Structure 1
Amino acid sequence: MTDSQDSQPTQALSRQDAPAGAADAEAPAEAAAPTGLAALIRKHPTAWLAGALGVVFLLLGTGAVFAGIASGSRAPVSAPIADATIPPRPQPSTTPGASPVRTCSVAPVMADPRLANLSAYVVNANTGEVLLDRNGLVPERTGSVMKTLTASAALQILGPDGRLTTQVLDGASPGVIVLKGGGDPTLATTTGTVYSGAAQISDLAAAAMQRYEQLHPGIPITEIVLDSTMWNPSDRWDDSWDRKEQADGYQAEVTALMVDGGRADPSSTVSTRTGDPIGDAGRAFASAAGLYGVTFSTGSAVSSTVLAEVQSQPVSVLVAQMMSWSDNVLAENLARVTAKAMGFDGSSASLAQAIPGALVPLGLDTAGVGVRDGSGLSALNAVSPAFVTSLMQKARTGEANLGVMYNALPVAGVSGTLAGRFTGANAIAAGQVIAKTGWIDTAYTLAGIVNAADGTPLAFMFTSIRDGISSDAKEAQDTLATALFTCGNNLSNN
């Protein structure tokens, strides 16, 4: 306490014990003045009272301790707190920036049942920030969006200026020549081919005949060896493909020697495909060379003497043709040639390593990327929407020749497989969605860049999956892409 207790009044003793032998003595006597301890208590009674109480409590506490010991219980004892060094709380190296609150939701659009089982992934293509993620990290079938991977791989390995070469070589003996395929499916039998500017087999035949006659004057050609051994000629059709794709006109057998992409009608992008692409190439050459009655055999060239050769257009042109109308045959042949150039055998099985391997130098994480073919026709392809959006980000900036692929993508309402899409209410996004379409019997896909109304470029991929999926999914995906165009960087993941 801080207040003084000495000012409180003291009281004299009213009675003292009588001295021994003076019992019953009642005579009053003057009280003697207190001395010693009594005097001290009288002078400071309050202080002594407080002290006395403290002694009482001390004695009671001591008794309790001993009572506890006697009864076998333990009284709580306060241990002294040792000095301890408390480690500093970890601090972030940088202060995180504020994240904008985005309010533009596309959830009602994604609820459209026409989208079937939807996966979607959208990022700001400038910053990489994820704006929308619906199962976007899960590998899914791609449809023809797989061609973006094939094109990117070919551009990395073959280069935009690379060309595919078809040759005629001298045979093992006079009278024999070898027609050797180099993986060019665009070699044309007519100038009216869908592959505008393609090498003509008539030019190859004329040059080869002229050179042969110089080397073997007067000796007629009686045999043409058809060499399609750039990869195994029997490895021409993936067992996960439906054979109706051949009759419907979307896919041909994949051989290193062929003409017109295997089409029955070279002038039509969709045309029934041949069942004998190697034989068709041999017959077309013989006809162009004026060789009638010759026999055909298959095998590998023995001589290294080249009589003539023609080259395809540059890979950059082939990629543009492949992407524009989603040419499956071009995709498969480019994939095989790419694998071969990487040291693989060019088989369909080698694509699983070759295509992802070609993309690793781009800094893309290819773990989990499953490649079954180069065209996307197989439902066994498995690539996540997140991976494709990362590829699209790089393509948009033209990194490592990928601008060739990006510039070849169809444009909404303008070109390629998107020319007739984005109509009606979706027309506001026409010209602003640059994307690759995809379609197989169990999926519709769309992936590319949306140049949003607020100026933000958005990289995206949509995958809609369902057995027997309806073509209505295309319009639903267009509507979703238009919603991205409207939201821009305000796109909410809610």
Structure 2
Amino acid sequence: MDNADLPADAVAREPGRGLGAAFARHPRIWLIGAGALVLALFGTGAVFAGVATVGDEPSAASVVTTATPTPTATVPPARPAPAAATAASQLRTCSVAGLAADSRLANFQAQVVNASTGEVLFDRGGTTASATASALKVITSAAALSVLGPDYRASTTVVKGAESGQVVLVGGGDLTLSRLPTGSEPFYTGAAHLDDLAAQVRTAWDADPANAGVPLTSLVLDTSYFSGPAWDDGWARAELSLGYMPAITALQVDGDRDNPARSTSPRSEDPIGRAGSAFAEALGGAVTVTRGAAPAGAAQLAAVQSQPVSTLIKQALIVSDNTIAEMLARLVSVTSGAGNSFSSLQQGIVGGLAGYGIDTTGIVIKDGSGLSPANAVPPRYFAELFIKINAREGNLGVIFDGLPVAGGPSGSLSYSDRFSGANAVADGAVFAKTGWITNGYTLAGVIHSADGTPLTFAVYALGNVRDNAKQAIDTITTAFFRCGDNLSNN
């Protein structure tokens, strides 16, 4: 057997012989084996070199290719977008907490807002709807400007009756119509006069050939434009004799005052009858007076109109006139289609406020003047509405121009017991509507504060209050004036 055919381990096991002897006896076999080993090592090195060295291209025979899976990209979860940074609130240090605790204010509610920024600076129960007293006249006025517009005028007309010699006086809701002769100025400056209406009727009657030889002998009073009841359940009947409120009818004269020239004057139990008697007298002759309805399509003989809404609002606000406020509220309700009675005022007034874009949640409307304790409006609503009034948005500048002014020449804030003493520092800077009912006092409006910041506010003192609640309200309002934008809610 040739040793070339022997396995390598057999060669190694030959006794007494080393590697050198084996190499010497079989040099060819060893050279071939060494070459194979070198070749194997070289090929392996080429694989590693091919992976590690750019540009090396090992032969296909010497490269073992292992498929490498493509890694799946890991997408980190989206981070939530950070909320807009909250602007740091100004540190305000002017506190009125002590004044707010004044026992004269009883159940105290208030809200004060920076009219330039809309930021609420002070709040005590500002979102709770409560009795407003006469501050409600601002709400009624805003609804009237929205529904009726500043140029609307209420008309009182006379039409031909169904019978020979008959005319019908149709009340159109003008409660300012005066029985004083033209040339004599009633309390409601610029009001229409019954004698003017009567003169027109006489002229038209005489000009109609059909009336030739037919005397005017019958007067019918049509008051159907408003429906009853004429008195709200929440009003004390004493308001009639005290001279603060008439029964609400579509036909009456001078707000049914005994004295047409005075603001406060006793009212009657029959405003319609008083108006009818006055008109019959103005017509002259023997005229019988009855009540009924005008014939459909009857020819109009005469008409007079009230002052425009813009003027009526100023007359109502400056001295807190209940009559005009009720007149406007009812006209808003009728014109908006809500109805013509007290029960329709909620829909009419609140609906009329919708265009201002302020949340009316909680508002309860029982009348237009605020005399009913059942009315309810949150101070917040006044504060927000007065921002628009102060900015004279739309027609709301009419309200600002009609507001009483602290220390002013006239109006309910010009009285000697308002903004007196130390509170007089705010004279000329507080433009606000006052309010008073038996269980509360209110004040709502605009303050041009000492630091130049326009503030809007509403203050309620409700419950077991006395007349001195007015002075407590003035005092805290003056404090708002002094604090301005530094007013603290603490």
Q: TM-score range by the shorter chain?
A: 0.7 to 0.9
Q: Which of residues 124, 129, 140 is equivalent to 2:130? A: 140
The reply on whether 1:454 has 2:451 as its aligned counterpart is yes
Conserved? CA contact 1:180–1:227, under 8 Å: yes
CA contact (8 A) 1:251 1:329 kept: yes
Q: 2:400 aligns with which of 385, 399, 406?
A: 406
Indicate yes or no: 2:487 matched with 1:491.
Answer: yes
2:467 is matched with which residue?
471
SS at match of 2:412: helix
Alpha-carbon distance, 1:235 to partner: 2.1
Equivalent position of 1:181 in the other structure:
171
C-alpha distance 85-245 of structure 1, shift in aligned 2 (>3 A): farther
Q: Distance in 2 between matches of 1:165 and 1:452?
A: 42
* Equivalent residue, structure 1, for 2:317: 323
Q: Tell me whether 282-291 or 314-323 shows the greater mean CA deviation.
A: 282-291
Q: Quote the offset at 1:384 in angstroms.
A: 0.2
CA distance, structure 2, for counterparts of residue 137 and residue 251 of structure 1: 30
Matches within 5 A, 1:80-479: 87=77, 90-190=80-180, 191-215=184-208, 216-232=211-227, 234-414=228-408, 415-420=410-415, 421-467=418-464, 469-479=465-475
In structure 1, what is the Cα distance between the partners aligned to 2:333 and 2:178?
Answer: 24
Does the 8 Å contact 1:131/1:491 carry over to 2? Answer: yes
Superposition deviation, residue 151 in structure 1: 0.4
Counterpart code for 1:344: A
Q: Aligned-pair distance for 1:84?
A: 9.8
Q: Distance in 1 between matches of 2:77 and 2:439?
A: 59
Distance 1:133 1:86 in 2: 46
Take 1:491 and 1:133, find their aligned partners in 2: how far apart are those partners?
11
TM-score by length of 1: 0.81
Query: Which AA in structure 1 matches 2:203?
Result: Q
Show CA shifts across 1:40-98 (max 9, x none): xxxxxxxxxxxxxxxxxxxxxxxxxxxxxxxxxxxxxxxxxxx9987455343422222
- Once superposed, what is the RMSD of the aligned Cα atoms? 1.5
Deviations 1:435-454 (A, max 9, x none): 00000000100000011000
Query: Any gaps of 5 or more consecutive residues in structure 2?
Result: 1-72
Q: What is the one-letter code of the residue matched to 2:205? A: Y
Q: Distance in 2 between matches of 1:295 and 1:362?
A: 45
Contact 1:446 1:463 in 2 (8 A): yes
**Quick check: 1:180–1:301 contact (8 Å CA) kept in 2?**
no
Q: Deviations over 1:284-325 (max 9, x none)?
A: 111111133423233344342110000011110001100011
Moved over 6 A (4+): 83-86
Stretch of structure 1 that moved more, 83-92 or 135-144? 83-92
Comparing 439-448 and 207-216, the one that deviates more: 207-216
State the match for 1:50 in structure 2: none
Which amino acid in 2 is paired with 1:224?
Answer: L
Whole-angstrom CA distance in 2 between matches of 1:101 and 1:297: 67
Shift of 1:220: 1.3
| 1:122 counterpart SS class | strand
1: CA distance between counterparts of 2:477 and 2:167? 55
Name the structure 2 match of 1:28: none
Per-residue CA shift, 1:161-210, capped at 9, x if unaligned? 11000001000122110000110011011223110111111100011111
**Letter of the structure 1 residue corresponding to residue 188 of structure 2:** Y
Letter in 1 for 2:120: V
CA distance in 1, matches of 2:321, 2:225: 21
CA contact (8 A) 2:252 2:272 kept: yes
Cα distance, 1:244 vs structure 2: 0.9
Letter of the structure 2 residue corresponding to residue 292 of structure 1:
A
- Partner secondary structure for residue 204 of structure 2: helix
- Rounded to whole Å, the distance in 1 between the matches of 2:131 and 2:75 is 58
Amino acid paired to 1:195: Y
Q: Distance in 2 between matches of 1:88 and 1:103?
A: 43
What is the CA–CA distance in structure 2 between the aligned matches of 1:295 and 1:131, rounded to whole Å? 60
CA distance in structure 2 between the aligned counterparts of 1:196 and 1:155, rounded to whole angstroms? 20
Displacement after TM superposition at 1:241 (Å): 1.0
Q: Which amino acid aligns with 1:427?
A: A
Q: CA deviation at 1:333?
A: 1.1
* SS at 1:341 equivalent: helix
Q: Give distance in 2, aligned partners of 1:368 and 1:291.
A: 55
Residue type of the alignment partner of 2:138: T
Query: What secondary structure, in the 3-state scheme, does the structure 2 residue paired with 1:458 have?
Result: strand
One-letter code of the match for 1:328? N
Q: Residue type of the partner of 2:411?
A: G
Identity fraction in percent: 48
- Give the secondary-structure state (helix, strand or coil) at the position aligned to 1:416: coil
Residue 261 of structure 1 aligns to a residue in which SS? helix
Change (3 A) 1:177 1:437: same
* DSSP-derived class of the 1:156 partner: helix
